[in-house]
């Protein structure tokens, strides 16, 4: 099935999967939003200044995060979840994916989860694991991780663990929706693609993936936020205690 201009097939899957498109509305306020290419370079925008820094600070205020690396981790996890969900959802539903070049995706860093993304042009690509790897892993998660490590000193293993967790979460939700709506072929395609993606060296080291279950080898640090806890795929079975406790 060809991609439609509005990517309407993604809408029933929920907010993490939806990818808005601007079509001919390039002159509307969306055009003032930074692109993800701007965010990874932290290029200043008219609306939010340095957008990636702005996003980390927004997450920090909302979580009351005790240190910047906590909010940087959660910000990255949320964006990774959006990118994997949209890409995997398109590949499983359409058999095609749109070109997700960071320069084509506009982003509002001031929204609550899920991150608000706008695709300014729909260019169809094959919905293969190799294309998904290039479109998400290399085009987005590498430069995003590089930027966050440089600014916040956050560990690479933690960020790649977030990437694996986000992919597994997208696959699990897509499988649940597909089987609940009698779309077994979509569930099968999503599982096959996810298994191929987890064979990539950057993801295979992040945890153990089987079927739709995932157990990561790192922690996203959410437990360090007030009222936070452990995620379902965390490497810990109970929150670590600080050395002074």
Q: What is the DSSP string of 217-237?
A: SS--SGGGSTT----TT-S-S
State the pTM of this model: 0.94
Can you tell me the distance from the alpha carbon of 187 to that of 176, in angstroms, rounded to the nearest whole number? 8
Give percent above pLDDT 70 in the chain.
Answer: 96
Could you tell me the sign of the dihedral formed by the alpha carbons of 92, 96, 101, 103, in that order? Answer: negative
Query: pLDDT tens digits for 159-193?
Result: 999 999 999 999 999 999 999 999 999 999 999 99
Show me where the domains of the chain are located: 8-224
Beta bridge pairs of residue 21: 119
Q: Which helix (H) or strand (E) holds 151?
A: helix 142-152
pLDDT of residue 28: 66
pLDDT of residue 212: 87
Position 29 pLDDT exceeds 80: no
CB 83 within 8 A of CB 116: no
Residue corresponding to tokens 């694996």 = 164
Query: pLDDT tens digits for 134-151?
Result: 999 999 999 999 999 999
């Amino acid at each position: 099935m060809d991609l439609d201009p509005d990517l309407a097939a993604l809408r029933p899957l929920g907010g993490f999967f939806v990818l808005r498109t601007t079509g001919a509305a390039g002159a509307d306020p969306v055009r003032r939003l930074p692109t993800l290419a701007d965010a990874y370079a932290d290029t200043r925008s008219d609306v939010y200044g340095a957008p990636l820094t702005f996003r980390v600070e927004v997450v920090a205020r909302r979580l009351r995060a005790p240190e910047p690396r906590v909010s940087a981790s959660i910000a990255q996890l949320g964006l990774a979840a959006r990118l994997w969900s949209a890409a995997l959802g398109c590949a499983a539903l359409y058999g095609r994916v749109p070109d997700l070049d960071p320069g084509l995706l506009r982003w509002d860093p001031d929204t609550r989860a899920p991150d608000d993304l706008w695709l300014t042009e729909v260019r169809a690509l094959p919905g293969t694991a190799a294309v998904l790897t290039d479109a998400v892993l290399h085009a987005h998660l590498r430069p995003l991780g590089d930027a966050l490590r440089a600014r916040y000193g956050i560990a690479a293993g933690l960020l790649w663990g977030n990437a694996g967790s986000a992919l597994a979460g997208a696959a699990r939700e897509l499988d649940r929706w597909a089987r609940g709506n009698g779309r077994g072929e979509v569930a099968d395609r999503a599982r096959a693609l996810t298994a191929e993606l987890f064979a990539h060296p950057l993801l295979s080291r992040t945890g153990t993936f089987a079927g739709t279950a995932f157990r990561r080898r790192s922690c996203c640090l959410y437990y360090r936020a007030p009222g936070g806890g452990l995620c379902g795929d965390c490497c810990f079975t109970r929150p670590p205690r600080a050395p002074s406790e």
